[in-house]
C-alpha cells in the first residue's frame, strides 16, 4: 500500500511526518538537528530513502546532512561551498558593488535519475552541484557568468537562489529563480544560461523590458507539460507556455496576488494552487482568513479553499518552500505556516486539517509518495 | 594534550561531550589548536572558521584563562595554562538572536 512522507524544515529543526495512503493518522519524528535552521529537505526521486537536508545557523554556518534510510539516521556531508574563480561583485541594496559571499543553502534539488547528484541553490545566488552524494560541491559557474551577475541585487531576504526545476523530458534543460534577479533557463545542462523574464512587470523596475531584477518567489511545473511554468512573483501570478520565452499574468480574480508558494496538482496540469498574502508590507492572509486558492484553468479563474482552515484571527505566513503535493490517486496537498502548523488535504484542497501543529516556524515542506 | 571546550550545538554535531582533547605538535596557537580540532573532527570544518579565509565566524568567541582571545592573531601563543592542559581553550557562541 502506498504511503506518504512529509519532510518539514523549521527554524528550529527538521521533522519527518508519515502516514499510510489514507492520510488520516500521522506519525511525527523529530526534531532532527534541534535548534538549527533547516531551510530545506528533499528526497531523491531515484531513491526515496536518500534524503538531503540543508542545516544552517547564524553562529556555525552551513552544514549538509544526508540520510540513506528515509530520515531515521543522518550523516554530515561536505559543507564547503566555494565560488568558482574570483567571485566578483553583485549589487548591494544601496546600489554599490558588493562582494559575492556564501551565506547558506536555500534549496536542494536531487537529480531525477541519480541519487548522488544534487543541485544546491545558495545565497549569495549561485548554483552548486554534487555528483558524489554530497561529499563535494562545485559551483556551476555559467549562471553567475551569464554577464548580468554584477547587476543582481538581493531581495529583503537576501540574494537567494531558491527555485530549481528540472525538465523531466529534457535532461539538458533546467529552470532556476533568484530573488531578486529573476528566472533563468539552461538548455545545455548548466553550461550556459539565459534570463527568461519577458512579460514580467515589477513596480520598482523602471525599465519594463529589464532583463533581470524581478523578485520571483517560486516557479512550479507539472512533469507532463514541462514548457508550462507557473510563477508566484513578488506581486503577480504568471504563466508561460513556451518554457519562459514570455510570461502572461494569470492573477485573474485573486483577492491579492502577492504570495510566496505555488504548486501544481499531481494529475491535473492546469490545476494550480497559491496562498494569497495581503501585501509585501503585511505578510499575513487577508482579513485573518487563511485561504488556499485553486485554479483549474491554469490561472485567471480562482476559487478559495477554506474548509478546515482558520477563518478568523489568523496572521501567519506561508513561505516559498512550504507547499508540496503528493502523487496518490486523490492528490494530497500540504503547506506549512510560520505559526508552526502543517495543513494537509487528501482531496486536492476541498478539506483541510493540520497534520501537525505547534512546530517552530515552518520554512519548507516537501512530500514523498512511497509505494 | 590541549583541552577544548565546545558550545552545545558543536558538541552535538561532533558527538562529543563538553570538552575534547587534541594533540598539538609545536607552538600552541589558536590556529594550531583549531587545525588539530578540525583534523580530529572534520564535521567541525567551516563551523568555527570560514572554510576559505579561516577567519573566526562572527558570532563565535574564543576565551581562555578568563581572557577574551577572540581578536588575537591566529598565530599568537595561547596562555601557558592552555598549552599545559591546565585550562581549556573555550569556543563560545555569542549570546545573540532568539
Q: What is the domain extent for residue B56?
A: 2-93
Give the per-residue pLDDT at A146: 86
* Straight-line distance from the first to the last Cα atom of chain B, in angstroms, rounded to the nearest whole number: 35
A94: its cell numbers: 544601496
What value does the mean pLDDT take over residues A6-20? Answer: 98
For chain A, the domain total comes to 1
Which residue among A35, A36, A62 sits closest to B46, beta carbon to beta carbon?
A62
Average pLDDT score over residue span A96-118: 97
- pLDDT score for B97: 57
Instruction: Tell me what ipTM this predicted complex has.
Output: 0.94
- CA A331 to chain B, closest CA, distance in angstroms equals 38
Instruction: Tell me which residue in B43, B51, B94 faces A76 most closely, judged by beta carbons.
Output: B43
| Residue B79 contacts residue B87 (beta carbons within 8 Å) | yes
Q: Is residue B30 part of a domain?
A: yes
List of chain B residues whose C-beta atoms are within 8 Å of the C-beta of residue A100 = none
A36 close contact with B: CB closer than 8 A: yes
Burial code of A285-307, b = ≥16 C-beta within 10 A, e = fewer?
beeebbbbbbbeebbeebebbbe
Cβ proximity of A262 and A218 under 8 Å: yes
* Pair A323, A261: CB distance under 8 Å: yes
Q: What is the pLDDT of residues A110-131, one digit of tens each?
A: 999 999 999 999 999 999 999 9
What is the predicted pLDDT for the residue at A270? Answer: 98
Strands A174-179 and A182-186: antiparallel
Say what the pLDDT of residue A52 is.
98
Total of domains in chain B: 1
Q: Which residues of A touch B43 (CB under 8 A)?
A: 63, 76
Flag whether pLDDT at A256 surpasses 90: yes
Place of cell 507532463: A224
Q: Is pLDDT larger for residue A211 or for residue A347?
A: A347
Which residues span the domain enclosing A338?
3-370
Rounded to the nearest 5°, which phi and psi values hold at A235?
A: -105, 155
The shortest CB-CB distance from A59 to any of B50, B52, B93 is to: B93
pLDDT value for A205: 79
Residue pair A84/A191 in contact by the 8 Å Cβ criterion: no
Q: Which of A58, A59, A61 sits opposite B46 (nearest CB)?
A: A61
User: In the predicted model, is pLDDT for residue A239 greater than 70?
Assistant: yes
Across chain A, what does the average pLDDT equal? 96
Give the domain CATH number at B10.
3.10.20.30
Specify if B28 maps to a domain.
yes
The pLDDT value given to residue A1 = 75
Which positions ≥6 away from A277 have C-beta within 8 Å?
A256, A258, A259, A260, A283, A284, A285, A317, A318
Question: What is the H or E stretch that residue B83 is in?
Answer: helix B80-83
Residues in chain B within 8 Å Cβ distance of A80: 45-46, 51
Per-residue model confidence as pLDDT tens for chain B (98 residues): 999 999 999 999 999 999 999 999 999 999 999 999 999 999 999 999 999 999 999 999 999 999 999 999 999 999 999 999 999 999 999 876 55
Do B59 and A79 make contact, defined as CB atoms within 8 angstroms?
no
pTM over cut 0.95: yes
Q: Which of A263, A205, A198 is nearest to A229 (CA)?
A: A263
Is B98 part of any domain?
Answer: no
- Report the side by side order of strands in the sheet with B89-93: B19-22, B2-5, B89-93, B60-64, B67-68
Contact A264, A230 (CB under 8 A): yes
Measured between beta carbons, which residues in chain B are less than 8 angstroms from residue A57? Answer: 9
- Min CA distance, B44 vs chain A (Å)? 9
Q: How far apart are CA A335 and CA B58, in angstroms?
A: 34
Residue whose C-alpha is closest to residue A192's, from A159, A160, A145, A152? A145
Question: With an 8 Å Cβ cutoff, is A135 touching chain B?
Answer: no
- Tell me the nearest-neighbour CA distance from B14 into chain A, angstroms: 10
Contacts of B61 in chain A (CB under 8 A): none
A62 at B interface, C-beta within 8 A: yes
Greatest alpha-carbon pair distance for chain A in Å reads 57
DSSP A368: E
> Cβ separation of A59 and B9 shorter than 8 Å?
yes
A228: domain CATH number? Answer: 2.130.10.10
The residue written with cell numbers 539538458 in the block is A172
Residue A204's pLDDT is 74
Question: CA–CA distance from B23 to each of A211, A224, B8, B42, B49 (Å)?
Answer: 55, 58, 22, 15, 19
Residue-wise pLDDT tens digits, A137-162:
999 999 999 889 999 999 888 999 99
Calculate how close chain A gets to B46, using CA atoms only, in Å: 7
Rounded average pLDDT over A257-271 = 98
pLDDT above 90 (res A164): yes
- The pLDDT of residue A120 is 98
Kindly state whether residue B34 falls inside one of the protein's structural domains: yes
Predicted local distance difference test score (pLDDT) of residue A163: 98
Going by pLDDT thresholds of 50, 70 and 90, the confidence category of residue A211 is: confident
- Mean pLDDT for the stretch of residues A36-40: 98
CB atoms within 10 A of CB A97: 11
Q: Which residues of B have a CB under 8 Å from any CB of A? A: 7-10, 13, 43, 45-48, 50-52, 57, 59-60, 93-94, 96-97
Is B97–A58 a contact, with Cβ atoms under 8 angstroms apart?
Answer: yes
Three-class SS of residue A19? Answer: strand
- The nearest alpha carbon in chain B to A61 belongs to B47
Amino acid at each position: 500500500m502506498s504511503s506518504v512522507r512529509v519532510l518539514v524544515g523549521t527554524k528550529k529543526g527538521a521533522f519527518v511526518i508519515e502516514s499510510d495512503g489514507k492520510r488520516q493518522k500521522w506519525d511525527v519524528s523529530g526534531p532532527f538537528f534541534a535548534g538549527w535552521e533547516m531551510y530545506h529537505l528533499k528526497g531523491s526521486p531515484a531513491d526515496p530513502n536518500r534524503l538531503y537536508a540543508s542545516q544552517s545557523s547564524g553562529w556555525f554556518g552551513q552544514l549538509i546532512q544526508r540520510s540513506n534510510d528515509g530520515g531515521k539516521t543522518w550523516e554530515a556531508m561536505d559543507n564547503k561551498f566555494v565560488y568558482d574563480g574570483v567571485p566578483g561583485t553583485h549589487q548591494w541594496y544601496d546600489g554599490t558593488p558588493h562582494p559575492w559571499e556564501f551565506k547558506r543553502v536555500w534549496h536542494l534539488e536531487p537529480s531525477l535519475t541519480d541519487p548522488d547528484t544534487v543541485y544546491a541553490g545558495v545565497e549569495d545566488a549561485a548554483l552548486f552541484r554534487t555528483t558524489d552524494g554530497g561529499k563535494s560541491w562545485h559551483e556551476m559557474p555559467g549562471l553567475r557568468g551569464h554577464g548580468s551577475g554584477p547587476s543582481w541585487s538581493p531581495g529583503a531576504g537576501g540574494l537567494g537562489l531558491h527555485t530549481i526545476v528540472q525538465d523531466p523530458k529534457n535532461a539538458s534543460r533546467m529552470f532556476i529563480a533568484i530573488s531578486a534577479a529573476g528566472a533563468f533557463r539552461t538548455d545545455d545542462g548548466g553550461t550556459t544560461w539565459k534570463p527568461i523574464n519577458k512579460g514580467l512587470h515589477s513596480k520598482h523596475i523602471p525599465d519594463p523590458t529589464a532583463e533581470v531584477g524581478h523578485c520571483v518567489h517560486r516557479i512550479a511545473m507539472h512533469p507532463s507539460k514541462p514548457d508550462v511554468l507557473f510563477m508566484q512573483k513578488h506581486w503577480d501570478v504568471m504563466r508561460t507556455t513556451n518554457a519562459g520565452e514570455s510570461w502572461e499574468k494569470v492573477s485573474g480574480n485573486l483577492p491579492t496576488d502577492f504570495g510566496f508558494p505555488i504548486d501544481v496538482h499531481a494529475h491535473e496540469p492546469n490545476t494550480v494552487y497559491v496562498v494569497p498574502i495581503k501585501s509585501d508590507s503585511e505578510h499575513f492572509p487577508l482579513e485573518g482568513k487563511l485561504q488556499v486558492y485553486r485554479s483549474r484553468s491554469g490561472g485567471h479563474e480562482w476559487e478559495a479553499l477554506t474548509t478546515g482552515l482558520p477563518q478568523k484571527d489568523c496572521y501567519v505566513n506561508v513561505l516559498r518552500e512550504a507547499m508540496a503535493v503528493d502523487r496518490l490517486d486523490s492528490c494530497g496537498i500540504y503547506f506549512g505556516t510560520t505559526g508552526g502548523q502543517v495543513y494537509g488535504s487528501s482531496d486536492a484542497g476541498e478539506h483541510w486539517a493540520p497534520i501537525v501543529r505547534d512546530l517552530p516556524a515552518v520554512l519548507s515542506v516537501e512530500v514523498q509518495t512511497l509505494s | 594534550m590541549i583541552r577544548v571546550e565546545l558550545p552545545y550545538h558543536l558538541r552535538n554535531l561532533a558527538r562529543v561531550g563538553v570538552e575534547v582533547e587534541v594533540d598539538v605538535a609545536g607552538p600552541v596557537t589558536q590556529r594550531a589548536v583549531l587545525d588539530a580540532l578540525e583534523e580530529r573532527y572534520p564535521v567541525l570544518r567551516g563551523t568555527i572558521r570560514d572554510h576559505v579565509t579561516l577567519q573566526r565566524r562572527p558570532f563565535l568567541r574564543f576565551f581562555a584563562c578568563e581572557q577574551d582571545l577572540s581578536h588575537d592573531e591566529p598565530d599568537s601563543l595561547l596562555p601557558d595554562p592552555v598549552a599545559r592542559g591546565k585550562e581549556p581553550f573555550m569556543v563560545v557562541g555569542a549570546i545573540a538572536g532568539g
